Structure 1
Amino acid sequence: MTKRSEHEWLADIISWGERLQRHVDGIDRTTFLGSEIIQDAVCKCIEALGEAAGKLDDLAPELDRALPGLNLKLARKMRDRISHGYYRIDWDIIWDTAVTSVPETVEAARSLMRKYDSDDGAGRRASGPPV
């Protein structure tokens, strides 16, 4: 199995976060709460983003402490909650996560990605992930 880099996990966070934003763009809480299709799409994006966040946190735990707003641990917890506690999902919390927490995490990931991209081109600094 090929080991993925911090850069690749960050790219996944950004990609799934942007995908989520497309699902909720132009809708309000009421529309979200009334649409199982949108709820399912948002949950899938949160799960994928949370999985990538967890993997990134495993590889570089210092990033979560060094970059406010990245929220790797919280994203992982939300993913676990949706995956393992699917029978008691609070859709209001999912909505708040989609419109508040995920955009914050994506913006922090973009900021970090810019640091990676300005490095040696290999996706990481010689001394470890950029912080």
Structure 2
Amino acid sequence: RLLSRAGIPGCLSSHFSIIFKLENTYLGIGPAAHSFDGKTRQWNIAHHLKYRKGVSLGRDFYEMETPSKKERFHDYLLTRLRTTRGIDLRYLQKNFTEFYPSFYKKFVRYLDTDLLEGKNNIFHLSEEGMFQSDAIIMELMRR
């Protein structure tokens, strides 16, 4: 389930769910598509004619940046909490050790609410939590 890509169970968008297949590495194909190789983030030119021309002429058709570790932590929360795939607390603790203690202190306050669902250290926003997702995620990202 995705807040921005709602769908009937069994009929969810497969083009978007591929983003989450390889621990947040993904390849975007086409105009305005986004990619992340684990280190750099790329996004293709949005205008379809400029994109097509860039590809056919072998010119740059994308822009690129290298997100900081903090930005990658925020991206993980933003992209995973809003899906049924959820966030894995073990993954966060292992890969974002400097942000985890502060995050976890805020996170545990939500465990006794109806805003999160989860088991085996993997949590996602509940249906009720989706309505408050921006506020919840902003609070969890605050240091």
Query: TM-score normalised to the size of structure 1?
Result: 0.31
Query: TM-score normalised to the size of structure 2?
Result: 0.29
| Richer in strand (by share) | 2
Q: Indicate the structure (1 or 2) with the bigger Cα radius of gyration.
A: 2
